[in-house]
Structure 1
Amino acid sequence: MLSTTVGTKVVKLLVIALSVTALTNAVAEDGMPEVELQTVMEGLTSPVMLTSAINDERRFVVDRTGYIYVLDAEGNQLEEPFLDISDQLIEFQEAFDERGLLGLAFHPNYQQNGRFYVYYSAPLRDEAPNDWNHTSVISEFKATQPEEGMRSQSNTTDMSSERVLLEVDQPQFNHDGGSIAFGPDGYLYIALGDGGAADDVALGHPPMGHGQDTTSLLGSILRLDVDRGWPGYAIPQDNPFVVDPRGLDEIHSWGWRNPWRMSFDRATGDLMVATNGQNLWEAVYEASEPGNYGWNILEGTHCFDTQNPNTTPPSTSCDTVGPLGHELKLPVIEYPHLRNQGDRAIAGISVIGGYVYRGSAIEGLQGRYVFGDWSQSFSQPEGQLLIAHPTNSGSEGQLWSIGQIQVLDSYILGFGEDSAGELYVMTTANTGPTGNTGAVHKLVPAQSE
C-alpha cells in the first residue's frame, strides 16, 4: 500500500530558451522565469494524470494500473484509493504498455451529483473480432453516498454504480488515446487512437486507415451528452455527422493517430490536443472546431506515405482535403523526432500533451502551453518539459514558438491541473507499468538561493 505521507522534494529547473527551426520558422521562448518541481506524491506505478472537481481542493491522481488516489486539501495522500478497478483491466505487458486506466473527468455538477467518468482498457469482449486485442470502456461512476453530507465529499466510490456508456474494440495494444474531459459546452469529449500498430495499416485497419474512416469511432475525438439518452447518452445535434450520413454521430473530429493528451483552456475554452507522430514529427493542435486533423494523409504539417514512413514526401505529393472533402487542419506546435532532428535544437520521441497555464503562482507562465516529451531516449529516462506560446496565433499557418524547460531523469507520462489552475507533471523511471517509481510533481516558483 502507498505511504500516506510524502516528504517534499524540490528540484530546481532553470528554464532554457532554445531556438527551433520549424516549417514556419517558429522562434524560441525567452524571458522565462525559473520554476521548481515539488514532489507531492510518490510510490506510484504509472501515473498518467491529475485532476480536480470544480471548487474541490482535493487532487485525484490516476495510475494506469487501475487506481485513483486522493491528495486531500492539506496535501496528505489518503491510503485508500478513491477508485480501484484493477481487477477489470487487461493483463499488462511489463516491458511497455499503453493500455490501462487512462482517463478521468468529473461531471461539471459533481458537487451536486457526485458523478465522474473513466476510460479504461478491459479484456476483449465476446462481441469483438476474436483476433483483436482488447476493448476500451468509458463508464460513469458515483462517489459513495456518506451517512451525512453529499456524495461529492466522499473519498471513495460506490462500485455498484458503474454505468457503461461506450465500449470500443481495439485491434492492437497501443494507440488507445484515453483522455476524457468536459468541454465548456457541458459535453463529454473522448479521445480515441487509430487502433494501434504502425502507419494506421495493420490487422483490423481499413484500407484508408481508421483516422480517415468516419464509419469507425477509432482515430476520432467523440462528443457526447451524458445527461440525456439514459441509460446511454445522447448526441449533441451540432456534431458534424448528425446531418451527414457518411460518418458516425458521436464523432466531433477525426484524423487522429494517438491523441495523448487533451485539455481545455479554462480561460478561453480552446481544446488543445497533442498527438503522437509516426517516425518523424510530433504535433499539438488547437482542435476546438470539428473536422479532419489529417492522419494518415499528414504527419503534423507534412505529407505522409504509409509505404515509406521514414521519409517526408514532397508537399505537393498529398491531398489538402480528406476523402469526404474537408480541408485538413494543421497543428499549432510541431517538432521533429530524434532521427529527424537535423540542426533543430528540440527533438523527441513522443509528445505528452499538457495545459495552458491559468494559475496564479507562476506569473511568467500565464497563457503559455506547458507540455512535454516522453524521453530523449528509449534506453534511459530523459523526459523533456517543454513550453509554447501562441505568439503567432493570429497568422494562419504560423507555428507557435517553443522552448525546453528542462530534461528530467524520468520518463514523462502526463500532466495535471488542479481546481486553482496550478500544473503538475507525472513521471516514472520505468518504460512499463511496473515498480513504484511513479511520482507526481507540482510546478512552483523557484526560490532564490
Structure 2
Amino acid sequence: MKMLSNLTCVGLILISTAVASAQTGGFSEINFERVADGLSRPIFATSAPGDPDRLFVVEQHSADIKILDLATNTVTGTFLDLPNGVTTGNEQGLLGLAFHPDYASNGLFYVNYTNSNGDTQVQEYSRLNANQADTSSARNILSIDQPFSNHNGGWMGFGQDNLLYVGTGDGGSANDPLGNSQDITNNLLGKMLRIDVNGDDFAADANRNYAIPNSNPFVGQTGDDEIFAYGLRNPWRSSFDRQTGDLWIGDVGQNAREEINVLLNGTSGQNYGWRDREGTVGSALAGAIDPIYDYSHGSGDLQGFSVTGGYVYRGPIEALDGHYFFADFVTDNLWSMKLDGTDETLFDGTNFSDFVNWTDLISTDFGTVNNISSFAEDGNGNLYIVGLDGEIFRLVSVPEPASGLILLGLGGLMAMRRRR
C-alpha cells in the first residue's frame, strides 16, 4: 500500500476537522444542570415580570401551573390548578401561559387551553398572592372552534408593543383539509393573532374581551382584524428575541419539512405558505414568505420529524449571544443558529449563519436531555430545556470554541445538508 505523505495526512485531518466544525462551530461541549424532575408532561415554562428567579411551569394534562424556585431547584407548589373542564388528548390540554407586562402591579396572566368541547379557550386570571392564582377570577378573552383534535398551537406571548400574540394551528387532521391556513375571512386557524387585552371592542359579547390594534394588517380591508400573520400549520413554540423584538416561530411540518420562520419586528401581514408550501417545497405562492431554515424528515443529525421552537439566547454566556436554540422532539437533535440579516422578501431557507449541532456535545449533571417539548427563558435571560418526560435543564456553560477551526461557512454546511 502506498503510504500517504505527512502533508496529505495533515490535509485530511484539516478536512475532517472542518466537516465536524461546520456542525459544532468549534465548540466541544454544552453543559446543562437539571433543575427539576418528576413533573407531569411539562410543555412550557416562563418567568413572570418582576419575578426573574422562578419559573412557572405548564403541565399539559393535569392542567396545572407549578412554581419552580431557581435558587433551590425545587418545585414549591401549584400556582394554578385550572378549575374548568379541559380536554386532554395527545395534542390537547393546557398549552400556553403569558404574564401581562404589568403583572408585577396588576397580577394578571393568561392561559390557553382546549376546553371541554375541545375548542381553544384563552382566559385571563389574576393572582391572590405571589404563590397562588385566584381561580374565581377567570375571564374569557377569546374562543376558537376546533374542527379536529390536533394542531391546536397554544403558544402566547406579549411583544415589545405590550400586545398579546396567539399562535393557532390549522385546525387539525392532515393537509389542512378545510383550507383554514390560507382563509383569512372569519377564520382564525393557522394564524398568528395579535390582540389588545387592555381594551374591549366587543362589549356585547361575553366571550370576546379584547380590542383590535389599529395597526393590525387587515384592519379596514378584507381579512379578520385579529390576524397578524397567516399560512401556518401548527406553530409549536414561538418566542420574541428580547433584544430585537423579532418573533421566531417553529412550525411543525406534514410529510416533508420542519421549519423556522422569523417575523421581523415592525413587519406584519406575512403569509408563510401552508398548505401550498411546506417549508421551502411545494407550489409557488405569490407573496408568501419562506422560512429562514427548514430540514427534512429522517433520523440523521440534521433531520427530524417534529420541530420544537426555542429562543434567541441573550443570557450571560457571551459566546452564545444571538444564537437561536431549537430542537426536534422525535430525534432529540439540538441545534442553534443566527439570523444572517437577509431581507425578509428574500428568505429561502438558507438565511442563517453560525449553525451548531449540539446533539452530541450535551453534558448534564443528572438525567437526560430528551423529549424536548419546549424551551424556556427566565427573567435573567438564562435558557432552559423542558422535557415532556418531566425534566427541566438550565444551560450553565460552554467552553470557548477552539480558534481556527471554523473552516466551512454556509456553503459548506448547505452542501452537507444536500448530501444527507
- Give the TM-score category using the shorter length: 0.7 to 0.9
When structure 1 is superposed on structure 2, of 250-259 and 66-75 the one drifting more is 66-75
* Cα distance in 2 between the residues matched to 1:161 and 1:119: 15
Stretches of structure 2 that go unaligned for 5 or more consecutive residues are: 1-16, 361-367, 401-420
Does 1:355 find its partner at 2:311? yes
Q: Helix, strand or coil: the match of 2:115?
A: strand
Note if contact 2:340-2:352 (Cα within 8 Å) is conserved in structure 1: yes
Q: Deviations over 1:262-311 (max 9, x none)?
A: 100000000000100111111011124322111011111111xxxxxxxx
Instruction: Return the match for 1:278 from 234, 254, 257.
Output: 254
Indicate the residue corresponding to 1:412 in structure 2.
372
TM-superposed CA distance for 1:33, in Å, is 5.7
Q: Deviations over 1:243-262 (max 9, x none)?
A: 11x21111111100000011
Indicate the residue corresponding to 1:129 in structure 2.
none
TM-superposed CA distance for 1:86, in Å, is 6.2
1:18-97 equivalences under 5 Å are 28=23, 30-32=25-27, 34-56=29-51, 57-65=53-61, 66-72=63-69, 74-85=71-82, 88-90=85-87, 92-93=88-89, 97=90
Note if contact 1:29-1:388 (Cα within 8 Å) is conserved in structure 2: no
Indicate the residue corresponding to 1:13 in structure 2.
none
1:178-193 equivalences under 5 Å are 178-193=154-169
Does 1:219 find its partner at 2:190? yes
Does 1:320 find its partner at 2:285? yes
1:280-319 equivalences under 5 Å are 280-288=256-264, 289-290=267-268, 291-303=270-282, 318-319=283-284
Q: State the TM-score, normalized to the length of structure 2.
A: 0.81
* Cα distance in 1 between the residues matched to 2:198 and 2:84: 28
Residues 447 and 404 of structure 1: is their aligned pair in 2 closer, same or farther, counting only changes over 3 Å? closer
Note if contact 2:86-2:113 (Cα within 8 Å) is conserved in structure 1: yes
Question: Which structure: greater helix fraction?
Answer: 2
* Cα distance in 1 between the residues matched to 2:341 and 2:102: 36
* Cα distance in 1 between the residues matched to 2:175 and 2:72: 43
Alignment-mate amino acid for residue 292 of structure 2: V
Runs of 4+ in 1 over 4 A off after TM superposition: 17-20
Indicate the residue corresponding to 2:93 in structure 1.
100
* Cα distance in 2 between the residues matched to 1:113 and 1:18: 53
TM-superposed CA distance for 1:78, in Å, is 4.0
* Cα distance in 2 between the residues matched to 1:100 and 1:393: 38
Q: Helix, strand or coil: the match of 1:52?
A: strand
TM-superposed CA distance for 1:406, in Å, is 1.3
Residues 293 and 263 of structure 1: is their aligned pair in 2 closer, same or farther, counting only changes over 3 Å? same
TM-superposed CA distance for 1:28, in Å, is 4.1
Does 1:111 find its partner at 2:90? no
Note if contact 2:250-2:261 (Cα within 8 Å) is conserved in structure 1: yes
Alignment-mate amino acid for residue 157 of structure 2: A
Indicate the residue corresponding to 2:210 in structure 1.
233
Indicate the residue corresponding to 1:210 in structure 2.
180
* Cα distance in 2 between the residues matched to 1:77 and 1:88: 28
Q: Deviations over 1:2-43 (max 9, x none)?
A: xxxxxxxxxxxxxxx9969xxxxxx64513362212111111
Alignment-mate amino acid for residue 147 of structure 2: P
Q: Helix, strand or coil: the match of 2:104?
A: helix
TM-superposed CA distance for 1:157, in Å, is 0.4
Stretches of structure 1 that go unaligned for 5 or more consecutive residues are: 1-16, 21-26, 125-133, 145-150, 304-317, 322-326, 377-382, 429-436
Note if contact 2:374-2:387 (Cα within 8 Å) is conserved in structure 1: yes
Indicate the residue corresponding to 1:426 in structure 2.
386
TM-superposed CA distance for 1:447, in Å, is 8.0
Note if contact 2:329-2:372 (Cα within 8 Å) is conserved in structure 1: yes
Aligned-residue sequence identity (percent) comes to 40
How many equivalent pairs are there?
360
TM-superposed CA distance for 1:87, in Å, is 5.2
1:241-280 equivalences under 5 Å are 241-244=218-221, 246-280=222-256
Indicate the residue corresponding to 2:336 in structure 1.
387
* Cα distance in 2 between the residues matched to 1:260 and 1:110: 25
TM-superposed CA distance for 1:319, in Å, is 3.2
Q: Deviations over 1:87-128 (max 9, x none)?
A: 5211x34xxx1111111111000111000011001111xxxx
Q: Helix, strand or coil: the match of 1:111?
A: helix
Alignment-mate amino acid for residue 256 of structure 1: L
Note if contact 1:101-1:118 (Cα within 8 Å) is conserved in structure 2: yes
TM-superposed CA distance for 1:423, in Å, is 0.6
TM-superposed CA distance for 1:446, in Å, is 4.9
* Cα distance in 2 between the residues matched to 1:87 and 1:328: 39
Residues 79 and 255 of structure 1: is their aligned pair in 2 closer, same or farther, counting only changes over 3 Å? same
* Cα distance in 1 between the residues matched to 2:312 and 2:133: 30
Q: State the TM-score, normalized to the length of structure 1.
A: 0.76
